[in-house]
Chain A
Amino acid sequence: MNWSSTRMTEIEIEVPTNLVRKVTEMLAYSGLISLEDVSYLTTDQQAIQGNEWQSKATEFNDLERQVLTIMKSLKIPTGEPEDKDFKILSESSNTRQFADQIDREVREVVAGMETNRKEVDTLRSYLDLVTPFQEFSIRMDSIRNRRYIYSILGTIPSGKVERFKESMENIPFALIEYKQVKNQSIVLLLGTRRHMEYLQRAAKSAYLNSIDLPDEYQGTPKEIIEQINAEIGALNLKINEANENVNKLRTSQAKRLQEIYWHVHMSRLMSEAITKYGQLKNGYLISGWVPSGKVKSLEDTLHSISEDILINIKPQPDKREVSKAPVALDHKGFFRGFQKLVTTYGVPGYEDLDPTLLLAITFPLIFGAMFGDLGQGALLALGGVLLMSGKIKKLNRLSSLGTVVLLCGFVSMVFGVLYGSVFGFETWIEALWQHPMENITNILLITIGGGALLLMIANVLAMINFIRKRQWIKLVFSGKGLAGLLLYWSLIGLLLSLVIKTFPIPRLIFTILAIAAAMMIFSEELIERVTNRKKPLFEHGFLVYLIQAFFELFEAILSFLSNTLSFVRVGAFAVAHMGLSSVFFILAEMISPSKGLGYWVVIVIGNIFILGFEGMIVSIQTLRLQYYEFFSKFFSGGGKKYAPFQVSHSVKQGVK
């Protein structure tokens, strides 16, 4: 049973300059050390050495991006790295030369394709101009450049044709309207060369857009269309050829590019890691955290490289250093999903309790109590098994939550038996305990009681955390510590003694306890300042202290009340679950009083709806109770996640 995060040890490694690559490679593949940035431990002289690795890292970064760009344009996926230990590239120039060469080839091909595509677009626009005229057997060159006749072939808004004709009465002209395409008329305007300027100006003023084809296009519209189509065909051939070249490049270079990519990628990561090292006169200083159980094996591995490597193992972190220690939670199998729920809230502090195991108990319990049904629980459990199997590819990301769903389903089945409910039917099996709808008050009171118990457990956990962190004042006097627990007990005791006339413990005792606990909470800050010898005693004055302390106490009492009552929702949802099922029964009976096919269809739909919709709501409520009511009592988060330096997918993170 694992109630704490993995113990971590801070180590410092002094590495001679000539061994820094080898050591870094080893560390990268061991995946044990979480590096600290100690690059500030550098003199000006040694900064130059550091800059060398910074430049290398930059160089590898540029190279990596270049290779990635090439791979993207060739549509080559990065794939997975080979299962081998990559070394830092000692000399990147060969790789760069290769990358530059491929880059050039790819750019040439792609640029060529782009140019050809643009040309095709231009030719298509010419086709659009000429196609309306394809029926006509006039040679286009016969229209252009005539000695006496000036002509304009083009399109004019159909609504302007008549006006245009009226405007041209002063000069001889002919306007032949061929046809209308949408709102444009295709026209041929003819006049004398003498009136060319007049015709041009008139045409312009009538928004007559002439067809401007390059002079090279001679012949009838049909011949021109054929010529353009042939050109488009030739360009398309070139584009296809270019595509084939790209495919050939892809096929021939894919593997090499992938290898290079990963090699450069790993080299970059390792170079970037080296930039975090401190600089010594003749070497480097590596600082980081290693799981305490792995220190010896790391030491041995380093010494196997060279005895010149010095390892300084620091003692376990004290109160001041403990916040720097990274937190490694490494639950396996069943508990991995619950670990995810914990880290979603926050990473626990190094000295704090790891609440994963507790969550693995309380979460399904609360969920099951709200969702108690044997049949629906079984379906949920089945869903959990499916998630865990990874058979549904789209849900692979959520496979670790499969255990959560499975457990929740299982506990729902248990509560289903206790409530006597199977797919909403309350007559198929006998309730081992009671149907929620039959005694609502009972259910609500029991869930409040359960909630109070959980809150007390949370209080105890908070106290354990205070002990682990040696925060003695808080342990005794804080609202989350002993004082808080006493206050809570005494308030509950007072309430019970008021309600139960024959309660064995006298009310006075609870009253005295409550007052004492309240005074302890009230004086927490004062005692802390006295023990730490802080002056003045009342930082902002006695009156301010009084008011502040009063409101903090008030808030503590209020939060006890609200947090406790919050658990009534567990009972409420248990009742609502049954209520929702009964709604579907009513609907089913309305549709088919004789319980025929329609009846069962509605029941099935109802169960699906409850499973999906209510299942989701109940999960949210459970999560809320866990996070807000439970975790907030003892879990402050703020821990630094353990993220060891590693570069290969194939390296397993061996923590314990």
Chain B
Amino acid sequence: MNRTGVSAYANVQARVKAMLSQMLDRSMWTRLSASNDQEMLISLLRSTAYGKYLAGVKDSVLTTRRTAFEIRKRLAEVFITVINHSPNFAKPLIEQLFKIYEVDNLKAVLRGITAGEGWEQTRYMLFSMEGYPTLPYQNLMEAGNIQKALDLLSKTTYRKELEPALSRYEKENSLFPLEVSLDLNYWQDTWKLIGDLPPSDSAVARELIGMIVDKNNLMWAARYRDFHKMNESEIINYTLSFGNKVNDKVIKEIAGGKDPFTSVKEIYPKVSITVDHVPGSTPELAILESILERQIKAKCISATTGNPFNIGLLIGFLFQLENEVHDLVVMLEAKSMGIKPTFYQNYLINQIENA
């Protein structure tokens, strides 16, 4: 069997194309944006591909959190489908991309333990990974403390990865070192897997995933500087040494005080940084993140409309679907709080024409 090309991707690309057609179109976004409240938004979603995930749940329990939990199941189902039908050489990377949710779940569980929450309070905050072997989240929560929870992970790679961070957690009584360790290890492993792909695929993957790494590095650098008041050395140690266009020079500049928006403009000269900035509303970093997400989205669209017989189609589609779910969750939360589109549109990745 050919390692690359048509024969490797024929099966999965047909499925992905079909699933692409099920994504929400512009008119649906407009209608969703125009809905008066959360209930109306949910009833609109019932007529979309998300409907089947909401069908099994009683209306009375469809809180914002629960609704978000249910619609994320679509992402899980799609990921598993793509994993199962990907060519063997691509499967490890796609699985690794799915594993970001496992890492996020683990972080949520650790936060839940620290906050003394019970399983029932935490379960619907997690990303549903039904149908995929994952961590025993409930057991971790019920362990009652971080040390015991991590002992339950002794047979996973997480335990070894978190070992150096554990002594810091014990001294500082803060989850920060554990969470950063999880993130850094995750992205290092992901980057290594790109190297195992055939050259044509690895180039595309490096570009797409590299943009996400760039986004993370920029956001982390800005956040560590502004909120955690970290110095340059700390920021360097807490960011990644690889990516697409963001390198240590850029990070050092931000650490040294440079406006991250300026850095973004230099990296993406064509990007428009004009923002409908309503004073006192949308924090700047959130706007920055949305801008970067939109750049990634544009690249993903280009990947899904280009050569369908490489990994770019898969990654591009999956990231687009993530963006779609992200925007739906933002809208859900906004509608539940009665926030007008003007105030939340900057958080959205898909820019919507309001009705």
- Check B231–A206 contact: CB distance below 8 A: no
- Whole-angstrom CA separation of A163 from B233 in the bound complex: 9
Segment of B76-84, B235-243, B309-317 engaged in the interface with chain A: B235-243
Q: List 13 A-B contacts (CB under 8 A).
A: A164-B237, A166-B248, A167-B232, A167-B233, A167-B235, A167-B237, A170-B232, A171-B233, A183-B160, A198-B231, A202-B231, A205-B237, A207-B177
Closest Cβ of chain A to B165, distance in Å, is 6
1/0 contact string of B216-244 vs chain A (CB within 8 Å): 00000000000000111111111001000
| Chain B interface category by residue count | 10 to 19
- Whole-angstrom CA separation of A62 from B341 in the bound complex: 74
Closest Cβ of chain B to A471, distance in Å, is 59
Which of B167, B177, B230, B236 contacts A166 (CB under 8 A)? B236
A168 within 8 A of B: yes
Task: Return the chain A residue nearest B240 by Cβ.
Answer: A163
- Whole-angstrom CA separation of A206 from B231 in the bound complex: 13
Across the interface, which residues of B come within 8 angstroms of A168, CB to CB? 233
Q: How many residues in A have their beta carbons less than 8 Å from beta carbons of B?
A: 23
Which of A171, A184, A198, A202 contacts B237 (CB under 8 A)? A202
Closest Cβ of chain A to B250, distance in Å, is 13
- Check A159–B233 contact: CB distance below 8 A: no
Task: Return the chain A residue nearest B248 by Cβ.
Answer: A166
Tell me whether A166 and B164 are in contact in the complex, defined as CB-CB below 8 angstroms, given that A202-B233, A205-B234 are known contacts: no
Q: Considering the complex, which residues of chain B in the window 73-102 have a beta carbon less than 8 Å from any beta carbon of chain A?
A: none
A652 within 8 A of B: no
1/0 contact string of A155-193 vs chain B (CB within 8 Å): 111011011101110110000000000011000000000
- Whole-angstrom CA separation of A209 from B233 in the bound complex: 17
Across the interface, which residues of B come within 8 angstroms of A163, CB to CB? 236-237, 241
B122 within 8 A of A: no
7 A-B pairs with least C-beta separation: A167-B236, A202-B233, A205-B237, A207-B164, A167-B233, A205-B234, A206-B237
Task: Return the chain B residue nearest A208 by Cβ.
Answer: B164
Which of B188, B230, B248 contacts A205 (CB under 8 A)? B230
Which of B164, B181, B234 contacts A209 (CB under 8 A)? B164
A204 within 8 A of B: yes
- Check B231–A201 contact: CB distance below 8 A: yes
Closest Cβ of chain A to B257, distance in Å, is 13
Across the interface, which residues of A come within 8 angstroms of B164, CB to CB? 155-157, 184, 207, 209
Tell me whether A198 and B233 are in contact in the complex, defined as CB-CB below 8 angstroms, given that A166-B241, A166-B248, A207-B164 are known contacts: yes
- Whole-angstrom CA separation of A155 from B36 in the bound complex: 57
Closest Cβ of chain B to A184, distance in Å, is 8
Closest Cβ of chain A to B23, distance in Å, is 38
B168 within 8 A of A: yes
- Whole-angstrom CA separation of A469 from B177 in the bound complex: 82
1/0 contact string of B299-313 vs chain A (CB within 8 Å): 000000000000000
Across the interface, which residues of B come within 8 angstroms of A205, CB to CB? 230, 233-234, 237-238
Q: Considering the complex, which residues of chain B in the window 283-303 have a beta carbon less than 8 Å from any beta carbon of chain A?
A: none
- Whole-angstrom CA separation of A157 from B168 in the bound complex: 14
Q: Considering the complex, which residues of chain A in the window 47-66 have a beta carbon less than 8 Å from any beta carbon of chain B?
A: none
- Check A207–B165 contact: CB distance below 8 A: yes
Q: Considering the complex, which residues of chain A in the window 191-221 have a beta carbon less than 8 Å from any beta carbon of chain B?
A: 198, 201-202, 204-207, 209
Across the interface, which residues of A come within 8 angstroms of B237, CB to CB? 160, 163-164, 167, 202, 205-206
- Whole-angstrom CA separation of A198 from B232 in the bound complex: 10
Task: Return the chain A residue nearest B185 by Cβ.
Answer: A159
- Whole-angstrom CA separation of A207 from B165 in the bound complex: 6
Across the interface, which residues of A come within 8 angstroms of B248, CB to CB? 166
- Whole-angstrom CA separation of A202 from B233 in the bound complex: 6
Closest Cβ of chain B to A185, distance in Å, is 11
Across the interface, which residues of A come within 8 angstroms of B234, CB to CB? 167, 201-202, 204-205
Q: Considering the complex, which residues of chain B in the window 160-185 have a beta carbon less than 8 Å from any beta carbon of chain A?
A: 160, 164-165, 167-168, 177, 181
